[in-house]
Structures are given as structure tokens and as C-alpha cells.
């Protein structure tokens, strides 16, 4: 692999806090919760009735052909607009670059669940002849990436990674590898998810993975707090434009930060529970630091996976200590923005990478809200309840998925 440097030149975000990056970032800095009562489906029979929904978003203006929006699942209706936002933010003119050297890697943990549920209901109630001919392309997890490439004619590396809640981290990280290897000059990378449907809600509820704090939805996601009772589902998309540094400089691009490191590992432990010894995630963090050529003490801020589950938060705390040694408890700021957005599953890593990048650009660490009674077994500095001003040169983002998938990204302040 060559020493090509990879930089971030554009960011697109759609989240429960807002329909673009500025609104999402302002919500994170304010410590505002985007979680409320679910409106997309009837939850009267469900133990969990809350989620971080994206409300009032119209995807049609982001499509060249608005009819394509109607032929897209909700997750693609987030993915393609977020990709357009990242492209526009980067200032790249698709007609002024070699499109065969521009790729797309926007993954999804679950894919078109809305389409699957709706079309299965039609199948059961009205018979097979009434099922939409678009059902398969609408629901498959790679179609968002395909549609984005078709929208702009980008013929470079194109794939969709599915690693549950590590999906966006892996998508961005593998795009980083491809650019460093020289097989692309730029890649739109990230994740999208829209699984707040009765099927998704029932599945996670019956696993007892979700918070049931229905009377106080804005206080339900409380990572590292002793009273946490599970994660809160969220939805949306995050996409970044990654570019080879020379390619970006040649066209005069504004550079947010350098994507410097990526680490990936497996717990090899359990279907859904994290390994309690933290060694799997620690290996991913250590690999990312090695690639970024930084030591643990160089990392100023870590955006934790921090889902607000009883086992997960403790296991991640242990992993951070294994990976970072004394620095974990002496100088490292850690926060979980899922306390505000909920858990966007396959999209979450891209939103959290955006938070890391903006923390570097603006010198602000977003808080972990609802941290009122810190769990003694979670004994790090989690930036409780209020954003903190700090000079951030190096930031890391963790993403862990069911199946034991671990992925860590590291971004640095761009130094020319």
C-alpha cells in the first residue's frame, strides 16, 4: 500500500437532530435529544414506543428524477440525499473529474426493511400478483450505493458492506484502503438506515435490547449511566467525500481533516453480546492508531460506540483501557453522541465520524447527555451533559456490530 494521504472534503448528514450537517452538529453541541414517541407505525402493543426518527424530510428534490425517490426504500431516500450533500459540500464537479476514478461505498446494516414489511403484508393479504416488481431492488442493502453511482455516473469501486452497526465505519475504512492503494481518487462513503418499523422494533424488543423509558423519551438514551436500560433506535444517513490529498489539492478543495487510521477486528465471542475482556475492540483501536502513526496519548477525543446497553458500555470502557492504557483515565475525553441521536445502526458510524471531524474544526467536544449517575464500572471522562471546548488534533470513532464486528476510524487535523 502506498503512502497516499486521504482527506475528507465533504460531509452529508441526515439525523434525528436535523436534515443536514449544520443542523445535526448544532444539535450535538447543544446537547439536544432527537428522541421521541414513534410516529411511523403503531406501537401500542410494543414494550418500546420511542425512537430517534427523521421527521418531515422530503427526498425528492435530491433526485435528478423525482420518480426514482418513489421507487426507493426509506433508507435509500436518506442515502442518496446525504451523498448529494457530501458531493456538493466537497465542491467537486462530477463532469470535471475522471468518473471511473470516483467510487461509492454507502452501506446499510439492514437495508430496505420498510419495503420488506409493506410488500410482505401485500403478499399475505392480496396475493403474489400484487407484489411490486421493484420489491427486490428496493429492499437489497447494496441498492443505495448502486443508485448513487448511477445518479452521477461514478464508475469507480462500488460496493456495500454489511457489518451491522459497524457498517459505516467499515465502509469508510475500506474506502480509505482503496484510495491509499491507488485504485480510486475519491469515494463517497458512509451508511444509511431506516429500520424503525414494527418488524425491526419487535425484533430488537424481544431481544430486550431497547430502552423502555417511554414516558421520558428524551432521557432514554443514557450511555454509561447506572440507570441505562438499553439502546434507542434511530435512523438517517451519513456520507463523507474521501479524496486522495493530491487530487483534492489539484482542484483547490477545502479540506476538513485527514482520515489517517483504520482498524478492524472480530470478537469471535457471541452472536450479539460483546466480549467482556475488551480485547477485540482494543485490537481495532490499536490497529487504527498504528496506521495513523499516533500513540494512545496523542488521541484527544474518542467518540464511543456507547449504545446505552448494560453490557456494551462496560465492555467498551474495558476495551478503551486495554487499548489506551493510562491515557484512558488521564487525559482522554470520551463521549457518546447516541445519547442524542439514538442508535442509527448501519449509519451511526458516519454521523459519529462527522462529529469527530467537526470537533477538530471547531474545537468543541459534544457531550454525553443524560449522564446523571455514572456507572462505577464506567469510570472514564465521558464529557457529561454539556459540550466542552478543547483543542482537538486527533479524534477516533468506534463502531461495533452484532456478530462481533469492530471498526475504528482516526481523523487528524489537516496540517498541509
For the stretch 35-77, pLDDT in tens is: 999 999 999 999 999 999 999 999 999 999 999 999 999 999 9
Q: Do 215 and 270 fall into the same domain?
A: no
Q: Which one from 324, 343, 356, 405 is the annotated catalytic residue?
A: 343
**Chain center to CA of 82:** 12
Residues 109, 227 within the same domain: yes
- Do residues 299 and 324 make contact, with C-beta atoms less than 8 angstroms apart? yes
Report the DSSP pairing between strands 102-107 and 186-193.
Answer: parallel
CA separation for the pair 66, 58 (Å, rounded): 11
Question: Quick one: which H or E segment has residue 145?
Answer: helix 143-152
Q: Assess whether 198 and 58 both reside in one domain.
A: yes
Q: What is the pLDDT of residue 271?
A: 84
Instruction: Identify whether residues 303 and 240 lie together within a single domain.
Output: no
* Mean pLDDT calculated for residue range 240-249: 98
Report the CATH number at residue 304: 3.40.47.10
Same domain, 293 and 345: yes
pLDDT reading at 273 higher than 90: no
- My answer on whether 236 and 339 are in the same domain is no
Give the per-residue pLDDT at 358: 98
How confident is the model over 77-93, as a mean pLDDT?
98
Clarify whether residues 227 and 276 are in a common domain.
no
CB atoms within 10 A of CB 142: 17
* pLDDT of amino acid 184: 98
Q: Are residues 195 and 324 in the same domain?
A: no
Q: How do residues 359-381 score in pLDDT, each as one tens digit?
A: 999 999 999 999 999 999 999 99
Q: Judge whether residue 416 has pLDDT over 90.
A: no
Measured in Å, how far apart are the chain's first and last C-alpha atoms? Answer: 21
Q: Is residue 271 part of a domain?
A: yes
Taking the C-alpha atoms of residue 92 and residue 341, their distance in angstroms, rounded to an integer, is 29
Contact 1, 44 (CB under 8 A): no
Q: Phi first, then psi: give them for residue 52, nearest 5 degrees.
A: -95, 90
Whether residue 311 sits in one domain with residue 276: yes
Judged against a pLDDT cut of 80, whether residue 1 lies above it is answered with: no
Do 274 and 164 lie in a common domain?
A: no
For position 274, what pLDDT does the model report? Answer: 83
Domain boundary among 219, 250, 281: 250
DSSP state of 328: G
Catalytic residue among 19, 48, 114, 165: 165
* Contacting residues for 416 by C-beta, under 8 A, at least 6 apart: none
User: 18-33: per-residue pLDDT in tens?
Assistant: 999 999 999 999 999 9
**pLDDT tens-digit readout, 332-355:** 999 999 999 999 999 999 999 999
With 70 as the cut, is the pLDDT of residue 228 above it?
Answer: yes
pLDDT at 2: 59
Number of structural domains the chain divides into: 2
Quick one: 233 and 268 in the same domain? no
Q: Last residue of some domain: 224, 250, 276? A: 250
Any idea what the Cα angle at residue 391 is, between residues 385 and 397, rounded to 5°?
65
User: Above 90 in pLDDT, residue 206?
Assistant: yes
- The residue among 250, 277, 312 that closes a domain is 250
**C-alpha cell recorded at residue 115:** 419495503
142: its cell numbers: 447494496
Q: Is 357 inside a domain boundary?
A: yes
Q: Is 327 a catalytic residue?
A: no
Burial of 246 (0-12, 13-18, 19+ CB in 10 A): exposed
Q: What is the pLDDT of residues 297-328, one digit of tens each?
A: 999 999 999 999 999 999 999 999 999 999 99
Range with lowest mean pLDDT among 80-94, 102-116, 240-254, 264-278: 264-278
Domain assignment present for residue 389? The answer is yes
* pLDDT of res. 90: 98
Output the CA–CA distances (angstroms, integers) from residue 391 to 359, 367, 395, in the order listed.
8, 15, 11
Residue 239's pLDDT band (boundaries 50, 70, 90)? very high
Is 165 one of the catalytic residues?
yes
Q: 90: domain range?
A: 6-250
Q: Look at residue 30 and tell me if it is in a domain.
A: yes
Based on the residue annotation, tell me whether 305 is a catalytic residue of this protein.
Answer: yes
If asked whether residues 10 and 102 sit together in one domain, one would say yes
User: Which position among 247, 291, 305, 405 bears the catalytic label?
Assistant: 305
Name every residue whose Cβ is closer than 8 Å to that of residue 4 and which is 6 or more positions away in sequence.
Answer: 179, 180, 182, 244, 245, 246
Amino acid at each position: 500500500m502506498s503512502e497516499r494521504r486521504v482527506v475528507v472534503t465533504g460531509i452529508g448528514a441526515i439525523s434525528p437532530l436535523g436534515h443536514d450537517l449544520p443542523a445535526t452538529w448544532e444539535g450535538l453541541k447543544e446537547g439536544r435529544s432527537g428522541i421521541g414517541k414513534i410516529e411511523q407505525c403503531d406501537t401500542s402493543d410494543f414494550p418500546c414506543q420511542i425512537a430517534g426518527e427523521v421527521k418531515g424530510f422530503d427526498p425528492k428534490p435530491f433526485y435528478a428524477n423525482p420518480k426514482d425517490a418513489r421507487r426507493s426504500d426509506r433508507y435509500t431516500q436518506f442515502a442518496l440525499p446525504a451523498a448529494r450533500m457530501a458531493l456538493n459540500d466537497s465542491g467537486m464537479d462530477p463532469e470535471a473529474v475522471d468518473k471511473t476514478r470516483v467510487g461509492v461505498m454507502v452501506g446499510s446494516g439492514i437495508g430496505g426493511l420498510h419495503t420488506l414489511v409493506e410488500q410482505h403484508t401485500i403478499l399475505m393479504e392480496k396475493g403474489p400478483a400484487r407484489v411490486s416488481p421493484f420489491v427486490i431492488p428496493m429492499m437489497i442493502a447494496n441498492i443505495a450505493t448502486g443508485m448513487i453511482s448511477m445518479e452521477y455516473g461514478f464508475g469507480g469501486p462500488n460496493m456495500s458492506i454489511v457489518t451491522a452497526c459497524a457498517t459505516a465505519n467499515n465502509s469508510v475504512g475500506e474506502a480509505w484502503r482503496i484510495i491509499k492503494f491507488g485504485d480510486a481518487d475519491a469515494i463517497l462513503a458512509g451508511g444509511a438506515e431506516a429500520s424503525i418499523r414494527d418488524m425491526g422494533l419487535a425484533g430488537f424488543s424481544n431481544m430486550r435490547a431497547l430502552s423502555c423509558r417511554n414516558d421520558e423519551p428524551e432521557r432514554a438514551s443514557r450511555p454509561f449511566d447506572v440507570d441505562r436500560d438499553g439502546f434507542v433506535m434511530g435512523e438517517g444517513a451519513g456520507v463523507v467525500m474521501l479524496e486522495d490529498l493530491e487530487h483534492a489539492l489539484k482542484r483547490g478543495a477545502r479540506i476538513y481533516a485527514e482520515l489517517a487510521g483504520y482498524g478492524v477486528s472480530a470478537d469471535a465471542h457471541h452472536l450479539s453480546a460483546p466480549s467482556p475482556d475488551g480485547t477485540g475492540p482494543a485490537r481495532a483501536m490499536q490497529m487504527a492508531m498504528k496506521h495513523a502513526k499516533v500513540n494512545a496519548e496523542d488521541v484527544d477525543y474518542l467518540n464511543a460506540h456507547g449504545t446505552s446497553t448494560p453490557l456494551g458500555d462496560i465492555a467498551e470502557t474495558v476495551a478503551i483501557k486495554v487499548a489506551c492504557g493510562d491515557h484512558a483515565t488521564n487525559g482522554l475525553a470520551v463521549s457518546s453522541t447516541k445519547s442524542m441521536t439514538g442508535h442509527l445502526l448501519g449509519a451511526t458510524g458516519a454521523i459519529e465520524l462527522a462529529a469527530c471531524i467537526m470537533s477538530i474544526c471547531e474545537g468543541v467536544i459534544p457531550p454525553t447527555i443524560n449522564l446523571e449517575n455514572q456507572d462505577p464500572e464506567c469510570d472514564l471522562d465521558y464529557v457529561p451533559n454539556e459540550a466542552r471546548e478543547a483543542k482537538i488534533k486527533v479524534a477516533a470513532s468506534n463502531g461495533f456490530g452484532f456478530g462481533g464486528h469492530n471498526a475504528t476510524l482516526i481523523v487528524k487535523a489537516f496540517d498541509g
